[in-house]
Amino acid sequence: MIEALPLQVEPSALTDAISNVWVLTVTFLIFFMHAGFAMLEAGQVRAKNVANQLTKNLLTWSVGVTVFFVIGAGISGLIGGDPYTDAFPFLDEEYIGWLYGAVFAMTAATIVSGAVAGRAKLRAYVTYTFLLAAVIYPVVTGITWVGEYIAVGDAVFHDFAGGMIVHGLGGIAGLTAAYILGPRMDRFGEDGSPNVIPGHSMTFAVLGTLMLAFGWYGFNVGTAAVFAEAGPNGDLLAFNGAVLSRVAMGTTIAMAAGAMGAGLVAWLKTDKVDTLYVANGLLAGLVGITAIPDTTTWWGAFIVGGLAGAQLPIVFGFVENRLKIDDVCAVFPVHGSAGVLGTLAFPFVAVEAWQGGLDLGFVVEGFITQVLGVVIIAAWTILATGVVWGALKAIGQARVTPEHEREGLDLSEHGVETYPEFGDEDPLVADGGVSAVRSRGDSDE
C-alpha cells in the first residue's frame, strides 16, 4: 500500500500557481468578449457593412494588443511612477500580467468601432486604435490603477474593473469620434428629424449580447485576481471568498436589472418592449456595476443596474434628437453614460458607507473623488480623441466617399460581400471566391 505523502511545495508557490491559472482563465474569458462585440456590432449594421465591422474587430485585437505590448504597457507604468524599462514586460514572469492588462485595453478600443460604423475609413479606425492602445488608454490607467493619483483626503478614485477607465473611456471616445465624422447618409432628414436605419440581424445582436455577458464574468469576477494566499501560519491556504462572492452576485443582479430597466422605459415610451433596448440594457447594467461590484450591497446592485438600463433609451434619444449624433451601436448610452453613473454611485451603495448607519463623511469624500476622476478621464478622452479624428478629417482620411458609403464598406474597403448569394449578380467565380467586379455590376472585360 502506498502511503500518502505531504505535498512538498511552498504555500506561496502553490498560491502563485493558483492565481496565475485563475488570471489566465479569466483573461481568456475577456478575450472571448471580442466575439460578442463582433456579433453585436455586425447585427446592428446594414448587411453591406458587416464584413467591414468584423474586420475592424479583428484588427482592433491584432494591432492594439501588439502596440500595447511594445508601447502602451510601458507608458502606463511610466505615467504611474515606474521607469519605462521596469514597466515594459521584458521578463517572462511578467507576460501574464501584461496579457491580463491587454484584454482590458482592447475592450476599450473595440467599443469605438460600433459608434463610427458605416462611414469611417478602415485606415482611420486602425490609426485611432494604434494611438488609443499606445497613449490614450495607458495615460488613464497610469493616473488611476497604477499611480492612484486621483484622491481626496483618504478616498482614492475607485474603479474595480474598468467601469469608467475602460467602458466610460470607450463610450465617450466613440461619441466624440461619431460627432466629428458626422451622421451616416440619410440618418437625419432635411428637417433634422432622425430616420431609423435598422441593423441587418437581431439574432446576431442578441447572440453577441449573451456572449458578452458570459465573458463579463471574467471581466468583473476575474478582477478579484488573488484567488488564494498563504495563511497566517505559512502552511495554510486562505481563500478570499467574500469579495469574489459579492462581485459574482452584483454582476448578475445588475445585469438582470439593466435588461428589465431598459425594457420598462422603452415600454413606457412606446408601448412596445424593444428587443434591442433590452439587449443593450443588459449590457448597460453590466457596465454600471463594473466599477463597484467589490463594494456594492445587494440592493445597490439592483439600483445601479436598473438605473443604468433605464437611462439607456433616454440618453440614446437625447444623443439622437438633441445632439444629432449618429451613434450606430449606442456605445455612449451603453458604455459611456452607464459607466459614469455606476462610478459616481460608488459611495452611496458601498457596504462601508452603511456599516453602523450612514457614514456621511465617507459618502461626501468618496463622491467628490469619483466626480474628479470622471471629469479628468472624460476631458482627456474627449481632447485626445478629438485631436486624432479632427486631424484625420482635416486631411480627408476620416470618412469614406459618399459613393463608397452608398455602395457599402464591404465592397469599397474589402472587395467582398458578406451575403453574396442574396445579391443580384452571380457571386461565383472560377476560383470559388467573390467577384467584387461583378458585385459592382461592372463588365468582365
Domain membership flag for residue 233: no
* Same domain, yes or no: 150 and 27: yes
Domain membership flag for residue 264: yes
| Beta-ladder partners of 230 | 237
* Same domain, yes or no: 406 and 425: no
Q: What does DSSP assign to residue 35?
A: H
* Same domain, yes or no: 249 and 383: yes
CA distance 257 to 248: 14
Residue 225's pLDDT is: 64
Q: What is the DSSP string of 155-191?
A: EE---SS-IIIIIIHHHHHHHHHHHHH-PPTTSB-TT
Average pLDDT on 375-386 reads: 98
Domain membership flag for residue 1: no
CATH of the domain at 281: 1.10.3430.10
The residue ranking higher by pLDDT, 238 or 143, is 143
Residue 442's pLDDT is: 46
* Same domain, yes or no: 124 and 45: yes
Sign of the alpha-carbon torsion through 18, 242, 347, 359: negative
Domain membership flag for residue 308: yes
Q: Which of 280-284, 356-360, 390-394 is predicted with the least confidence, judged by mean pLDDT? A: 356-360
| Structural domain boundaries, residue 428 | 415-445
* Same domain, yes or no: 261 and 372: yes
Would the pLDDT of 136 be above 50? yes
* Same domain, yes or no: 343 and 389: yes
* Same domain, yes or no: 346 and 439: no
Residue 359's pLDDT is: 87
| pLDDT interval class at 435 (50, 70, 90) | very low
* Same domain, yes or no: 336 and 432: no
* Same domain, yes or no: 192 and 206: yes
Average pLDDT on 377-382 reads: 98
User: In percent, how much of the chain has pLDDT > 70?
Assistant: 86
Domain membership flag for residue 310: yes
Q: What's the structural domain count of the chain?
A: 2
Q: What is the pLDDT of residues 180-235, one digit of tens each?
A: 999 999 999 999 999 999 999 999 999 999 999 999 999 999 887 655 555 555 54
Residue 440's pLDDT is: 41
Domain membership flag for residue 20: yes
Domain membership flag for residue 234: no
* Rounded alpha-carbon distances, angstroms, from residue 417 to 50, 166, 238, 407, 433: 8, 33, 55, 11, 10
Task: Find cell 437611462 and name the residue.
Answer: 311
* Same domain, yes or no: 406 and 437: no
Q: What is the pLDDT of residues 90-127, one digit of tens each?
A: 566 678 888 999 999 999 999 999 999 999 999 999 99
* Same domain, yes or no: 36 and 46: yes
Q: Which of 111-125, 230-244, 274-288 is predicted with the least confidence, judged by mean pLDDT? A: 230-244
Residue 328's pLDDT is: 96
| pLDDT interval class at 387 (50, 70, 90) | very high
Would the pLDDT of 430 be above 80? no
* Same domain, yes or no: 309 and 170: yes
